[in-house]
Chains A and B, each alone.
Chain A
Amino acid sequence: MMRSRYWHCSPGFVAIVFVMTSANLRAESAGQPSAEPADAQRAVSAAFGSETLDRLLVMAAQFNEAELSEVISDDQFLRRASLDLIGRQPTPAEFATYRLDQTKGKRAAAVERLLASTEFGENWAGYWSDVIGYRVPPPELTFLDYTLFEKWLAERINQNAPWDETVRTILTATGKVKDQPAATFVGFHEADTTRLAAETARVFLSVQIGCAQCHDHPFDEWKRQQFHELAAYFVRASAKMPWNDSGEIEVKDKGKGEYEMPNVADPTKKGIMMTPTFFTGHKTEPGKSDLDRRRELATVVTSTDNPWFAKAYVNRVWARLMGHGFYEPVDDMGVANVPLLPEVHQELTDHFRASNFDAKSLFRAIVNSKAYQQRLSDHSSASTDDKPYADARTTKLRGDEVFQSLVTAINLPNVTPPKTAPTKEIRFPVPPKSTKDLVTEAFGFDPSLRPQDISRTLGQAMLMMNNDQLQAQVNAKPDSNTALSKLVATEPDNAKAVSNLFQLVLARQPNDMESKIALEHIGTGNSRGESFEDLLWSLINSAEFTTKR
Chain B
Amino acid sequence: MLTPLLDIAVNRQGYLGRREFMANLAGGAATGVLTLGWRDMLVAQAAELRKQGKSIILLWMDGGPSQFDTFNPKVGSPNQGPARAISTSVAGIEFADFWPQTAMMMDKLALIRSMRTPEAEHDRAITHVRTGYPPTPALRYPTFGSLVARDREDLSFDLPAFVRIGKPRIKNRDVDAGVLGVKYSSFNVETAGALPPNVRPVVEADTLRRRLSLADKFDAQFAAAGAAKEVADKKSIYDRTARFVLSPRLETFDLDREPAALRDAYGRTNFGQGCLLARRLIETGVSFVEVISTGDRNDAGWDTHNNGFRDTPYLAAEVDPAYSTLLQDLGQRGMLDNTLVIWMGEFGRTPKIKPDGGRDHYSKGWPMIFSGAGVRGGQVIGATDADGVDVTDRPIGVADLCLTLCHIMGMKPDDEYRTTDNRPIKLVEGGKLIHELFA
Contact = CB atoms under 8 A, between A and B. Distances in A.
Contacts of A514: 218, 221
A7 B199 contact: no
23 contacts: A6-B178, A7-B138, A8-B423, A10-B421, A11-B421, A138-B172, A198-B137, A377-B226, A379-B229, A392-B226, A458-B182, A458-B237, A461-B240, A462-B198, A462-B244, A462-B245, A463-B198, A466-B200, A466-B245, A513-B221, A534-B207, A542-B218, A543-B235
Interface stretch (A230-238, A286-294, A423-431): A423-431
A210 interface: yes
Interface hub of B122, B208, B215, B245 (most chain A Cβ within 10 A)? B215
Contact of B241 (A141, A424, A450, A465): A465
Contacts of B420: 6, 8, 449-450, 453
B230 A394 contact: yes
A542 to B, nearest CB: 5
A391 B231 CA distance: 18
Contacts of A449: 420
A480 B217 CA distance: 28
Contacts of B179: 6-8
B206 to A, nearest CB: 11
Contacts of B182: 4, 455, 457-459
Contacts of B183: 455, 457
Contacts of A544: 218-219, 222, 227
Contacts of B426: none
Given A456-B234, A544-B218, A376 B139 contact: no
B429 to A, nearest CB: 15
A11 B97 CA distance: 55
B146 to A, nearest CB: 12
A213 B136 CA distance: 11
A159 B218 CA distance: 40
Nearest to A10: B421
A44 B354 CA distance: 72
Interface hub of A392, A455, A538 (most chain B Cβ within 10 A)? A538
Interface string B225-261: 1111111011101101110110000000000000000
A466 B244 CA distance: 12
B171 interface: yes
Given A8-B179, A425-B297, A465-B198, A458 B241 contact: yes
A471 interface: yes
A477 to B, nearest CB: 14
Nearest to B121: A140
Interface in B173-200: 173, 176, 178-179, 181-183, 185, 197-200
A539 interface: yes
Given A143-B171, A521-B214, 9 more contacts: A6-B179, A6-B181, A7-B179, A8-B423, A458-B244, A459-B182, A462-B241, A466-B202, A538-B214
A455 B182 CA distance: 9
Nearest to B419: A8
Contacts of B214: 517, 521, 534-535, 537-538
Nearest to A376: B226
Q: Report, as a range, how many residues of chain A touch the other chain.
A: 35 or more
Nearest to A467: B198
Nearest to A429: B299
B201 A465 contact: yes
A380 interface: yes
Contacts of A211: 138
A541 interface: yes
B48 interface: no
Contact of B139 (A9, A465, A517): A9
A461 B238 contact: yes
A521 B139 CA distance: 50
Contact of A541 (B211, B228, B230): B211
A99 interface: no
A29 interface: no
A466 B172 contact: no
Contacts of A455: 181-183, 233, 237
A456 to B, nearest CB: 4
B276 to A, nearest CB: 25
A394 B237 contact: no
Interface hub of B123, B238, B423 (most chain A Cβ within 10 A)? B238
Contacts of B217: 517, 538
B227 A394 contact: yes
A225 interface: no
B298 interface: yes
A460 interface: yes
Given A456-B233, A534-B210, A428 B170 contact: yes
B140 interface: yes
A461 B138 contact: no
Contact of B140 (A6, A198, A450): A6
A512 B211 CA distance: 20
Contacts of A307: none
Interface in A1-30: 2, 4-11
Contact of B227 (A7, A140, A547): A547
Interface string A357-376: 00000000000000000011
The 10 closest A-B pairs by CB, nearest first: A376-B226, A461-B241, A538-B215, A425-B298, A543-B234, A538-B214, A462-B198, A138-B172, A8-B419, A456-B237
A379 B227 CA distance: 9
B140 A543 contact: no
A329 B123 CA distance: 30
Contact of A8 (B229, B244, B298, B421): B421
Contact of B245 (A8, A329, A465): A465
A514 B222 CA distance: 10
Contact of B172 (A141, A391, A543): A141
Contacts of A511: 221
A178 interface: no
